[in-house]
Amino acid sequence: MKILNFTFCFIFLFFASAGVRANGLPDADRDGVPDKDELELYYTDMNNPDTDGDGYSDFEEINRGFSPHNPEPVKLIDSDLDEDGLSDAWEIKFKTNPNNPDTDGDGFKDGEEADYGFDPARGDGARLDVSLKINLDAQTLDYLLNSYVWRSFPISSGKASTPTPTGEFKVVNKIEKAWSRTYGLWMPYWLGLNVSGIGIHELPIWPSGYREGENHLGTPVSHGCIRLGLDAASYVYNRIPVATSVLIH
Ligand SMILES: [Ca+2]
Ligand SMILES: [Ca+2]
Ligand SMILES: [Ca+2]
Ligand SMILES: [Ca+2]
């Protein structure tokens, strides 16, 4: 009997120690996803290798881009379990809980916070790393959160004779309805950059009321500024504070 007990203990210890996997980190259910990541990143059951019981392990699902929380074959990017405006794929990027619409409990939904550049995992008003990236070849402006592209908009940058400068800049001022003395037109939702006279703004309006057409977007026709469409310009203006980095390439 004593020998049997000893054997049992030995087997138990063997399997307990075999629980240490996943690149040497503790992995209680031995599914290849470390306990720490199950608790803090994927919010899966660290004691169940198949959290949603669909026959595919958490490891397998996460690595193939599927939700380990949904027994249906739904991709992480198409799943928003807690309906907070942040897909399960983005919840992983921001380390928020895909089953809790307000991870930090500050009264604002995860998706709403992220959209305005606030860290949805931290309730102390902490900001995400917000920046803009402008691609002159593609004629796009990307709004980045922690270096991930959150939103992308078509632009119209400077034409060949008045090209938009490239390099790393910063937003230095914001004017809701800026007036260009040089060209005699309004430039709504102006975000000025630290390079002479260059800014990001809405499609300009002439004093006559004529508005440059949306059909300019995607084509470089400006005097050097970066023009955005009607909804895009106010969206970006309302989310970008002074001192935000702007990379133009
Ligand atoms: Ca695990
Ligand atoms: Ca599963
Ligand atoms: Ca969500
Ligand atoms: Ca929140």
Tens-place pLDDT, residues 189-227: 999 999 989 999 999 999 999 998 889 999 999 999 999
CA 173 to ligand 4 centroid distance, Å: 29
How sure is the predictor about 23, in pLDDT bands with cuts at 50, 70 and 90? confident
The overall average pLDDT reported for the chain is: 92
> In the predicted model, is pLDDT for residue 12 greater than 80?
no
Q: Based on the fold, state whether residues 88 and 136 are members of the same structural domain.
A: no
Asked whether residue 63 falls in the same domain as residue 157, the answer is no
- Quick one: tokens of 164? 């938009």
Mean of pLDDT values over 143-149: 98
Show which of 56, 83, 115 is a domain's final residue: 115
Q: Which is nearest to 140 in space by CA: 242, 243, 247?
A: 247
Pinpoint the alpha helices (H) of the chain.
2-18, 35-37, 58-63, 88-94, 110-115, 230-237
Q: Ligand 3 mean position to 131 CA, how many Å?
A: 23
For residue 127, what pLDDT is reported?
97
Domain that holds residue 140: 130-248
Give the pLDDT score at 214. 85
* Residue 110 to residue 97: CA distance in whole angstroms: 9
- Ligand 3 mean position to 156 CA, how many Å? 33
Boundary residue ending a domain (85, 115, 145): 115
* Residues 70, 79 contacting (CB under 8 angstroms): yes
- Statement to judge: residues 152 and 105 lie in one domain: no
Per-residue pLDDT at 8 exceeds 70: no
Q: Please check whether residue 42 lies inside any domain of the structure.
A: yes
Q: Is 24 exposed, middle or buried (0-12, 13-18, 19+ CB in 10 A)?
A: exposed
- Collapsing DSSP to helix, strand or coil, 152 comes out as strand
Same domain, 142 and 110: no
What is the percent of the chain with per-residue pLDDT over 90, rounded to a whole number? 87
Residue 100 counted as domain residue: yes
**What's the total number of domains in the chain?**
2
The pLDDT assigned to 9 comes to: 44
Considering the domain architecture, whether residues 25 and 111 belong to the same structural domain is answered as: yes
> Do residue 148 and residue 50 come from a single domain?
no
pLDDT (mean) for 48-52 = 98
In a domain, 221, yes or no: yes
Is residue 120 included in any domain, yes or no? Answer: no
The bound ligand whose nearest atom lies closest to the alpha carbon of 22 is 1
**Residues by chain with Cβ below 5 Å of ion ligand 2:** 50, 52, 54, 56
CA of 36 to the centre of ligand 1 (A): 8
Mean of pLDDT values over 85-90: 97
CA distances from 109 to 77, 90, 144, 167, 211 (A): 18, 13, 19, 35, 36
Nearest ligand, CA 100 = 3
Structure token pair of residue 63: 């690595």
Given 56, 86, 115, the domain boundary residue is 115
Q: What percent of the chain has pLDDT over 70?
A: 92
Q: Are residues 101 and 163 in the same domain?
A: no
Query: Are 160 and 106 contained in the same domain?
Result: no
| Domain co-membership, 141 together with 191 | yes
Beta-strand runs (E) in 34-158? 130-135, 140-145, 148-156
- pLDDT, residue 21, reads 58
Distance 48 CA to ligand 1 centre (A): 7
One domain for residues 35 and 105: yes
Q: Tell whether 222 and 139 lie within a shared domain.
A: yes
Q: Is the pLDDT of residue 159 over 80?
A: yes
Indicate whether 166 pLDDT > 90: yes
Residue 48 has which token pair?
A: 């169940």
Q: Are residues 111 and 17 in the same domain?
A: yes
In this predicted structure, the answer to whether residue 96 has a pLDDT above a threshold of 80 is yes
